[in-house]
Amino acid sequence: MQLEKFPSMFFKCSADGAWKMEYVSAGSEELTGYSPAELMEGRAISYRELIHPEDLGDVWAIIEGDIKNDLPYQVSYRIRSRTGEEKLVWEQGRGVSDAQNSLQSVEGFISHLDSGFAPQTIKQDALNEVIVASSRAQDLGSLLEGTLKHCLEIFKLTSGMIWVGNYFEALGLPRTQAHDAQRRLQTLVREDRKFRTVHDWLDEDSLNTLAPLSDTFDKLSVRASLIVPIRVEGKNIGGICLNNADLRQWTIEEISLAEAISSQLSGAAGRLDLLETIQEQAHLLQRILDTVQEGIFTLDVHNRILVVNRPAREFLNQLAGVGRGEILKQLGESSLRDILTPREDGLPHEVRSAGDDGRTFEVYPSPVIDVGEEKGNTILLRDVTEVRQAQHRVQEQIRRAAVGQLAAGIAHDFNNIVAAIILYGEMVLAMPELPSKGRKRMIMIIEQAQRAAALTRQILDFSRRGIMEPHPMELMPFLQEIVNLLKRTLPENIQVTLNHGEDDYVVSSDPARLQQVFMNLAVNARDAMPSGGELLFDISLVEFDSAINFSHDEIPDGKWVRIDITDTGRGIHADDLAHVFEPFFTTKLPGEGSGLGLAQVFGIVSQHEGYIEVNSELGEGTTFSVYFRSLPVAMLSGIIPEISEPAKGQMETILVVEDDLAMREALSEMLEMMNYQVLSANNGKAALDIFAEKPSIDLVLSDLVMPEMGGVALHSELKKKYPDTKMVVMTGYPLVEGGKDLLEQGIVAWLQKPLDADTLARTIREVLSMSK
């Protein structure tokens, strides 16, 4: 090492006041009479034993006080050399701490005050500054600039250059010309291991290999230079070039001091070069981590956050309100201990951020193991809010499908039973000799049967299996009728109003199903206002453009009719808002609601290809907003008004095709009472046999779903053989695909089971009155 040439004793020792030497330079022998080998580890004698006993206590007190305050120290005291000579020495140094800021050792140098390196000299002060700056520097640029300033002060010079790798600093020289000189100088001395002294750049004979640079330095007005390489692990990584404007003889002390500074720089440069490489790698790792959508962060053994990527910074702020460098104690409402404990089912933990709009995260902890010892944890946070919402929608669809499938399985037979009860009940009511008490009981039976049919209809509506008969209609007259009906039926302490503009509000809808929507919402509003309040219907036209407004991105672009139904009731709790359209979900007391009303509303609106949303605040009321696609007014033309009063039959022949015996007999009796001739068959095949014997049948009233041959196949055969035959189909939900096609194309009329006498009479008269 170059320190071996310096006429002082460089050392590194323990930080406990024992001066147990870990390193001693060759200058120890001249100073103390003991070789480095004898002083290190106290093999021959401890350096502490050389200090004069009268000075020992004060010396360590000064050193200890400065290093505890993280300051370099300077102190003079007496030592006794091997020969017994008493010497006054000057010591300066500093404490060295580890990454945890724990004091590990002391390093510095000790000089004999008679050697010319007294503490008062600027050389010693400057060297001390270089040592301290080297140990604390965090980047090469600032280290080189500071070192060059100190060197110029040491040697009382006005210009110089210093470089390490791609880092270059110059003082007192034009930077561009100095950089050019440095590049040429580095090329010539690349392999040099020793210093170079130039007393006169104009004396070419004395320059040897440096002669080609004489013109360059002459242009820089430099006559003398001291050039010292900076080497790391035997490789020349840079150098120091100190310049004088006049001729100069460089002394041994100056050369040794320059080499000592170079040696100090080489260690610092190596450390900083490694530091910059590590920092570059860390920056690269950080950039890579920041491109990952999941949050990733690491914890040390004390659960302090070390590395964190951009998404994790946001997630940690939401879940714990902490950031890098802070201690993590919990995520959401879960403690960190629970998070780091694997679940028994092997699935990730889930946490949720606070607030009504809180987000859901999956947590994947992974311990960091180093040589069999756990060193902390790496944790991945995945925002699964949208995934959970999608899963919820799929599960909701599955539930609806399951309930709908169940309803479909029982609807046909159940509605046949209910229809027979209603038809027979209406026939009994028509008997003039029926007693008053019997009449009341029969009315109750019919009403209960209709309630049972309505319950099935609700289930089919929210599962979107109900039959729709939409057509263009003007919504304003329809809503005015709804509002007038509600004014008559709702309690007097509820004020019902309708707000609207001057626009035309034309939509495609099934009026009966749409009436069910608004009546269900009105009943809910009534229940939310037990002490009275206001119920407002507000209709308007809105237009959505996803390129401009993202607030309703689930609704396609275009014009929509919006109906807001607002009450001033108690409102809906935020936790319940997400579930209000789920089947069987209700906030009412047992017996007060089935939980099917809003589910039915949602299903009917969806069947209309519309949208519904809800906004509510506790104590402030609730608004349901329903959206239907707006149609042009021209779509209203061609709508046929309903027949106002049903007419009796004129002894036309009707063939009833129904597999359920009770339903078939009830229909036959009812039609005979309406003045029709009735034939009956239990399926489509039997009906064709009857046609073969008596083809002059005026109308076929057929169920859709029957054994052997159903209504769709029967219609197909009749159109082939008897194309003028009129047909009305009955269905108890849901329609098979062929039946849907028939209805959607308007080929047949249809009746929904369970049916009543009035609906039956109207439909048959309407179909019979149509031209063939």
Ranges 339-353, 373-387, 440-454, 726-740, most confident: 339-353
140: pLDDT confidence band, cut at 50, 70 and 90?
Answer: confident
Q: How far apart are CA 130 and CA 122, in angstroms?
A: 12
- Rounded average pLDDT over 685-705: 89
HEC profile of 38-70: HHECCCCCCHHHHECHHHHHHHHHHHHHHHHCC
Q: Provide the pLDDT confidence category of residue 678 given band limits of 50, 70 and 90.
A: very high
To the nearest whole percent, how much of the chain has pLDDT over 70?
78
Q: For residue 115, is pLDDT > 70?
A: no
pLDDT at 499: 92
Q: E strands within 156-286?
A: 159-164, 167-171, 196-198, 224-232, 235-244
CA separation for the pair 732, 714 (Å, rounded)? 18
- Across the range 498-516, mean pLDDT stands at 85
- Evaluate whether 687 touches 711 at the Cβ level (below 8 Å): no
List the one residue out of 560, 528, 541, 535 whose CA is nearest residue 482.
535
pLDDT at 308 exceeding the cut of 90:
no
Average pLDDT over residues 693-709: 88
Which percentage of the chain shows pLDDT scores above 90?
A: 13
Mean pLDDT of 46-51: 91
Mean pLDDT taken over the chain: 80
Question: Among residues 227, 242, 235, 240, which one has the least CA distance to residue 144?
Answer: 240
Regarding predicted confidence, which is higher, 162 or 432? 162
Which range (570-584, 697-711, 716-730) has the least confidence? 570-584
Query: Does 566 or 389 have the greater pLDDT score?
Result: 566
Return the pLDDT at 120.
Answer: 38
Question: What are the helix (H) ranges across 156-251?
Answer: 175-188, 214-219
pLDDT of residue 550: 46
**Residue 742: predicted pLDDT:** 61
- Candidates 41, 261, 244; CA nearest to 151 is 261
In this predicted structure, what is the pLDDT of residue 257?
Answer: 79
CB 598 within 8 A of CB 579: no
CA–CA gap between residue 751 and residue 459 (Å, rounded):
19
pLDDT at residue 176 greater than cutoff 50: yes
pLDDT band at 138 (very low <50, low <70, confident <90, very high): low
> For residue range 217-273, what is the model confidence (pLDDT) as tens digits?
888 999 999 998 887 777 788 889 999 998 887 776 677 778 778 877 776 766 665
Q: Spell out the residues 6+ positions from residue 450 whose beta carbon is closer than 8 angstroms to its own.
A: 418, 422, 754
Question: β-pairing, 9-14 with 21-24?
Answer: antiparallel
Residue 24 pLDDT > 80: yes
Mean pLDDT of 549-564: 77
Q: Give the span between the Cα atoms of 598 and 769, in whole angstroms.
A: 39
Per-residue pLDDT, 434: 84
Nearest to 7 by CA among 160, 127, 184: 127
Q: Given this model, what pLDDT does residue 42 score? A: 83
> From CA 612, how far away is CA 74, in angstroms rounded?
82
What pLDDT, on a 0 to 100 scale, did the predictor assign at position 496?
92
Q: How many CB atoms lie within 10 A of CB 620?
A: 12
Q: What pLDDT shows up at residue 420? A: 81
Please say if the pLDDT value at position 759 is more than 70. yes
685-to-202, 668, 689, 694, 706 alpha-carbon distances in Å: 126, 19, 7, 14, 10
Nearest to 428 by CA among 765, 757, 763: 757
What gap in Å lies between CA 231 and CA 56, rounded to an integer? 38
Residue 546 has pLDDT above 80, yes or no: no
Q: Cα(408)–Cα(458) distance, rounded to whole angstroms?
A: 12
Give the strand pairing for 611-617 and 621-629.
antiparallel
- For range 408-426, the mean pLDDT: 76
- What is residue 747's predicted lDDT score, i.e. its pLDDT? 58
Reported as a pLDDT band with limits 50, 70 and 90, residue 427 is confident
Residues in the chain, total: 772
**How far is it, in rounded angstroms, from Cα 501 to Cα 470?**
24
* 268-304 tens-digit pLDDT: 766 665 545 545 555 666 666 666 778 888 888 888 8
Q: What is the C-alpha radius of gyration for the chain, rounded to an integer number of angstroms?
A: 49
Considering only CA atoms, which of 219, 214, 188 is closest in space to residue 203?
Answer: 214
Cβ burial of 159 (10 Å; 0-12, 13-18, 19+) is buried
Q: 535: pLDDT confidence band, cut at 50, 70 and 90?
A: very high
Alpha helices in 534-625 (DSSP H): 574-577, 597-607
Query: DSSP readout, 629-661?
Result: E---GGGGTTPPPPPSS-----S-EEEEE-S-H
Among the listed ranges 13-22, 368-377, 522-531, which one has the minimum average pLDDT value?
A: 368-377
Tokens 């599960």 sit on residue: 395
